[in-house]
Amino acid sequence: MATASVAFKSREDHRKQIELEEARKAGLAPAEVDEDGKEINPHIPQYMSSAPWYLNSEKPSLKHQRKWKSDPNYTKSWYDRGAKIFQAEKYRKGACQNCGAITHKAKECTDRPRKIGAKYTNKNIAADEKIESFELDYDGKRDRWNGYDPSTYHRVIDLYEAKEDARKKYLKEQQLKKLEEKNNNENGDEVTSDGEEDDDDLKVDEAKVDESRQMDFAKVEKRVRTTGGGSTGTVRNLRIREDTAKYLLNLDVNSAHYDPKTRSMREDPLPDADPNDKFYLGDNQYRNSGQALEFKQLNIHSWEAFDKGQDMHMQAAPSQAELLYKNFQVAKDKLKSQTKDTIMEKYGNAATGDEIPMELLLGQSERQVEYDRAGRIIKGQEVILPKSKYEEDVHVNNHTSVWGSWWKDHQWGYKCCQQTIRNSYCTGAAGIEAAEAALDLMKANIARKEATEESPKKVEEKRMATWGTDIPEGLELNEEALANALKKEDHSRREEKDERKRKYNVKYTNDVTPEEMEAYRMKRVHHEDPMKDFLG
């Protein structure tokens, strides 16, 4: 049994631990659980977070022993070169004394040393640089191309293209100069060795010559049927060795797939390029053109004929299959021509009829028409415009324009009278003037009404009776009299209730004012009031 190596304080502790494990095996002691409350298997070492894969456990096994998860804090971004974050207008304390940027010191400044620094001139303060810090992973720290901008490589391409254009221009000038010398030379039969030397000087490296213009293949001398020597023969090389491999024509990973085992690339690696300039169009181009397409059609014909019950097999009897296919093609062409003749006999052939005049084809003629200054025809005949079978320039209800020729305030209408009611009678310019006058009058009436309109009077708040249902509707109370009545009611409640103890000189009257009645209603105890017990 694999157990963890645990240091015990004494031999007695070690003995107790062994007894406890044996009791757990026999089921006499509770099983040991981990922090999550799950039972720990005693057959698995304690340094494992869970069971290994060979125990058919669904939990992760030994992944915790290595850093198998990528840290989300790591980034693949790079420094924003030349980025500025803030442009100060005056020198700040602690900034660079030379340029005035606060992101570095004068010792680290990369600007040209000024005669008088920005600290003293307070002019031409440089912008603050963008300071960034990244936490890169193991691969990011060792990536040579991290932060490289591929778009900058076009400078190298432009440089090579400029060199190539200059070379071609120079060669063309030399060829033209040579042709002029030949034309000016009276003795054209004289050929000197100087001309051959000039030709040698004009030759350029073969690797730089445009390979697409080479008409012939390179010739390679090989020994034939000999071990140590013998007869030699000229073998034509099937391709120029300087040709670019088809898997290097397009380096985009999402372009045509190249199978290195069969050396096949079915799709076109450069589908957007000019077909006249392309040397390789993909393997599918060869499968769908030339004799490959004819062989494909022959196979299809043999399969279909075999399915229809004819004893025919392309692999067993290829000559028979090819002969039957030729007979089928002849019969098919004959049937097609018979069908064409039948249709032409029934409906005629417009191609063999008289030619259509040019004025009908192009809408032009050689007729000359002269007009005067007023636009009237002096000489010639006016060109008649062709009309369709549909009605044109038909206006209803005296209108001179169609419905929908006018748009105003999200409504369509007629342009001639500016009316927005369809099928209305046209009123012309008079209707437009009348509509404008009515609109002006309406605006004037609205403005006059707003000016003369009085503001509503404020409704004075009246103190109405609070309690009771037997109060008149038009009852109005005096605030001051009501306050005095409330004080009087409080004073009377504090006095003795016994009539025998009343003084002789007390003035008592039965006349009750509305304010006193309201004060009585307000001060009496209302049994239906839920807060009556809290009243003083």
Q: What is the DSSP letter of 389?
A: S
142: left (phi over 0), alpha (psi -120 to 50) or beta: alpha
- Nearest in space to 62 (alpha carbons), one of 53, 74, 73, 70: 53
pLDDT reported for residue 207: 44
pLDDT reported for residue 279: 81
- The two three-digit tokens of residue 73, written as one number: 């804090």
What residues contact 527, with CB distance under 8 A and at least 6 apart?
Answer: none
Report how far apart the first and last C-alpha atoms of the chain are (Å, whole number): 88
Please determine, for residue 160, whether its predicted confidence score (pLDDT) is greater than 90: yes
Beta strand spans in 118-185 (E): 128-129
Sign (positive/negative) of CA torsion 506, 512, 513, 517?
A: positive
What would the mean pLDDT of 285-303 be, rounded to a whole number?
87
pLDDT reported for residue 208: 45
List, for residues 75-86, the tens digit of each pLDDT value. Answer: 667 788 888 999
Residue with tokens 């660079």: 96
List, for residues 50-61, the tens digit of each pLDDT value. Answer: 555 565 556 555
Mean pLDDT of the chain: 76
Please determine, for residue 170, whether its predicted confidence score (pLDDT) is greater than 90: yes
What would the mean pLDDT of 467-480 be, rounded to a whole number?
66
d(CA 523, CA 536): 10
Within a 10 A sphere around the Cβ of 299, how many other Cβ atoms?
14
Lowest model confidence (mean pLDDT) among 119-133, 240-254, 376-390 = 376-390
Phi and psi angles of residue 66, each rounded to the nearest 5 degrees, phi first = -140, 160
% of the chain at pLDDT higher than 70: 66
- The two three-digit tokens of residue 144, written as one number: 């040579």
pLDDT reported for residue 144: 86
- Which H or E run contains 12? helix 11-26
d(CA 167, CA 345): 66
pLDDT band at 163 (very low <50, low <70, confident <90, very high): very high
pLDDT band at 474 (very low <50, low <70, confident <90, very high): low
pLDDT reported for residue 39: 58
Chain centre distance of CA 24:
64
Please determine, for residue 9, whether its predicted confidence score (pLDDT) is greater than 80: no
pLDDT reported for residue 217: 45
pLDDT reported for residue 213: 44
3-class secondary structure, 6 = coil
Please determine, for residue 47, whether its predicted confidence score (pLDDT) is greater than 70: no
What would the mean pLDDT of 135-159 be, rounded to a whole number?
86
Comparing 213 with 308, which gets the higher pLDDT? 308
Long-range contacts of 303-306 (CB under 8 A, 24+ apart): none
pLDDT band at 168 (very low <50, low <70, confident <90, very high): very high
pLDDT reported for residue 335: 95
CB distance 247 to 259 below 8 Å: no
List, for residues 484-534, the tens digit of each pLDDT value. Answer: 888 888 877 776 556 666 666 656 566 778 888 888 888 776 677 777 777
pLDDT reported for residue 357: 67
What would the mean pLDDT of 99-124 be, rounded to a whole number?
92
- Concatenate the DSSP letters of all residues of 327-339 into one string: HHHHHHHHHHHHH
What residues does 219 pair with on adjacent strands? 236
3-class secondary structure, 404 = strand
pLDDT band at 205 (very low <50, low <70, confident <90, very high): very low
pLDDT reported for residue 456: 55
d(CA 483, CA 485): 5
Among 172-176, 198-202, 224-228, the range of highest mean pLDDT: 172-176
What residues does 221 pair with on adjacent strands? 234
Phi and psi angles of residue 222, each rounded to the nearest 5 degrees, phi first = -130, 150
Please determine, for residue 187, whether its predicted confidence score (pLDDT) is greater than 90: no
- The two three-digit tokens of residue 77, written as one number: 């971004």
What would the mean pLDDT of 5-22 be, rounded to a whole number?
65
CA distances from 378 to 77, 369, 517 (A): 81, 8, 112
SS (H, E, C) 56-105: CCCCCCHHHHCCCCCCCCCCCCCCCCCCEEECCCCCCCCCCCCCCCCCCC
d(CA 225, CA 319): 35
pLDDT band at 327 (very low <50, low <70, confident <90, very high): very high
What would the mean pLDDT of 87-95 be, rounded to a whole number?
92
- The two three-digit tokens of residue 145, written as one number: 């191309």
Please determine, for residue 296, whether its predicted confidence score (pLDDT) is greater than 80: yes
CA distances from 321 to 70, 227, 295, 305, 476 (A): 63, 45, 11, 10, 122
d(CA 36, CA 49): 12
d(CA 266, CA 531): 95
With the CA atoms of 199, 201, 207 and 211 taken in that order, what torsion angle do they form, in degrees rounded to the nearest 10? -30
Phi and psi angles of residue 53, each rounded to the nearest 5 degrees, phi first = -65, -30
Among 141-150, 167-176, 283-292, 375-384, the range of highest mean pLDDT: 167-176
d(CA 124, CA 99): 8
- The two three-digit tokens of residue 123, written as one number: 């002019």
Please determine, for residue 470, whether its predicted confidence score (pLDDT) is greater than 60: no
Comparing 343 with 524, which gets the higher pLDDT? 343
